[in-house]
Amino acid sequence: MNEILNDTKTVKRRSVWGWILISLLIAVIVLAVIGEIAVHRAMPILKGRVIETLSSRFDSRVEIDGFSVSVLKGLEVSGEGLRIYAQDEVVAAGATDPLIALGHFSFHANLLGLFVKPMHVRTVHVAGMVIHIPPREMRQQAPKGQRHMGKIKILVDEIVFDDSRLIIGTIKPDKEPKEFEMSRIVMRNVGPDAPWRYDATLVNAIPKGDIHATGTFGPWNNESPGDSSVTGKYTFDHVDLNTIRGIGGMLSSVGEFSGQLNKIIVDGTTETPNFSLDTANHGVPLHTKFHAIVDGTSGDTYLQPVDARLGGSDFTCNGAVVNVKGKGHIIDLDVNIPAGQIQDFLQLAVKTSPAVMTGGLQMKTKLHIRPGPQSVSKKIGLKGGFTLRQIHFTNPELEDKVDMLSLRAQGDPKAAKPGAEDVHSQMVGQFVMADGKLSFSKLDYTLPGADVSLAGEYTLDGERFEFDGKVRTKAKVSQMVASKWKSILLKPVDPFFKKDGAGAVIPVKVSGTRSAPKFGLDLGHKGKKDKGEQGGK
């Protein structure tokens, strides 16, 4: 009897578990069917919402190549090949590239979002975005004041962009599209009519360095994206100036900016503790504080002004950096050095060390750097005038010759010996720097007892300098020799050199190198010139 009862209980247990398993299986099947139905229904709903939201926001045609939805963990949405085009009139004008193209996007939302409008999405992840802003001339074809009649059906808190590009087009024949590569951007508060907060990181190509910027962007201007507002603060770190041919050093910069994409006002500072040119490869500390206007649609930059300090010399620059299609940039600056030190600039530009001279420098010059792949030192040009005061030549032999010239010119030849007391001299000149050399059309050198007028050139590698001209002295020729007998013998010569109220006017020549300078009379040159003058009478 007990065995029968036990068998009956066992059968009942198996029956209960069987029904439970069957019920679970049915439930799984039902859920799978419901899920399948939900996916099929959710996919067109969500795709339609994405398209309508973007169409309304950008007043443009929107296309999506791939779109998928999963409901295993709420609503998991992803898509590929999303394209937002410019308005039809702008496309007809030639702007055929999508205004915005996304390689891949994805976001997560609550299932209840299917029944709530607008749907709320916390974060959208985007990879491979390209923003292509058409040239202004094409954008002007867009009808003014017309907006798409759709509704915003999805609200997003944050968008994370990886590996994005911004391309600003141009139809100007001498300009190239301006392209910016951004490794990562996070945008927050992405509303339709308010600025978006962003946090962006990108690697600048030339000069190579890391840029980090935070600020606001927008609202997006559909009719003229270049007029969209932008503000922010930036840091530009680990900037390797060696990626620009002819320039060296590691730069860092901080600053802030505001305005529109086509007119961004930037204020910042730069620090380069070892700025150098390849003509010398001597690192000199350079600090700048600048105010600039940047046209983000063309890449042109207008410096107004730059306050700089090179070594111990302060100077200012004003001018422009203009993009040239297929070539690079033209740099044109007006440079003013009110009270600098000549040794700072010679150390930067000239290979010889120490600098050939020291002294106070006052200079105004126009700087021009032409575009092209050559080294900056091969492209740079300067033209202007300068004044040097308190000149001292670092080569003892050259300084001795200058000191002895001054003493002889004053009529004190007996004191004109090596080691004589240094004299204070001054130089005024007009110059042109190009092709690795300084050419002086006018070089007036004044020292006690003498005025020297020269013309010539100095190579930036320090290998050669050559000047010729005239020395006007206070003393007569016969008064410039220490020997009494020589003085007597030279007295008959005095009238030939006495001229224009000076004791003597003597042709001179300065040539050689820094290590082997030559400083002396150029009587042969005088004879040739006088002969030529006589022949012309």
* Residue 266 to residue 212: CA distance in whole angstroms: 15
Residue 330 parent element (H or E)? strand 328-341
Query: What pairs with residue 180 in β-bridges?
Result: 166
Those residues with Cβ within 8 angstroms of residue 413's Cβ, 6 or more apart along the chain or in another chain: 407, 479, 480, 481, 482
3-state secondary structure of 478: helix
* Spatial separation of the C-alpha atoms in residues 281 and 12, rounded to whole Å: 96
Beta bridge partners, 182, equal: 164
Single-letter residue type at 425: S
* Length of the chain measured in residues: 537
d(CA 301, CA 318): 11
Instruction: Tell which residue, 33, 53, 165, has the closest CA to residue 109.
Output: 53
Please, what is the Cα angle at 357 between 353 and 362, to 5 degrees?
125
Q: Where along the chain do its domains lie?
A: 395-535
Contacts of 152 (CB under 8 A, 6+ apart): 53, 56, 57, 118, 192
| 192 close to 87: Cβ distance less than 8 angstroms | no
Tokens matching residue 253: 């910069």
Cis upstream peptide for 44 (omega within 30°)? no
Q: Going residue by residue through the chain, which has 537 residues, state the pLDDT in tens, using 9 for 90 and above.
A: 555 445 555 545 555 555 555 555 544 444 444 444 444 566 787 888 888 888 887 778 899 999 988 877 677 889 999 998 887 777 777 778 888 899 999 998 877 666 677 888 889 999 999 988 777 666 655 555 555 556 777 788 888 999 888 887 776 666 667 777 788 899 887 766 678 888 988 877 777 888 899 998 877 776 666 677 889 999 998 888 888 888 888 999 999 999 887 788 999 999 999 998 887 888 899 999 999 988 766 768 898 899 999 999 999 999 998 877 777 778 899 999 999 999 998 888 877 778 888 999 999 999 898 888 888 877 888 899 999 999 998 888 888 888 988 998 899 988 888 888 888 889 999 989 887 788 888 889 899 999 989 898 877 666 777 888 898 999 998 888 888 888 888 888 888 888 888 888 988 887 777 667 676 665 555 444 444 343 333
Q: Are 379 and 372 in contact (CB under 8 A)?
A: yes
Cβ–Cβ under 8 Å, residues 158 and 124: yes
What is the amino acid identity at position 403?
D
DSSP state of 114: G
Judged on CB neighbours under 10 Å (0-12, 13-18, 19+), 344 is: buried
127 exposure class (CB count in 10 Å sphere: 0-12, 13-18, 19+): middle
CA–CA gap between residue 240 and residue 237 (Å, rounded):
9
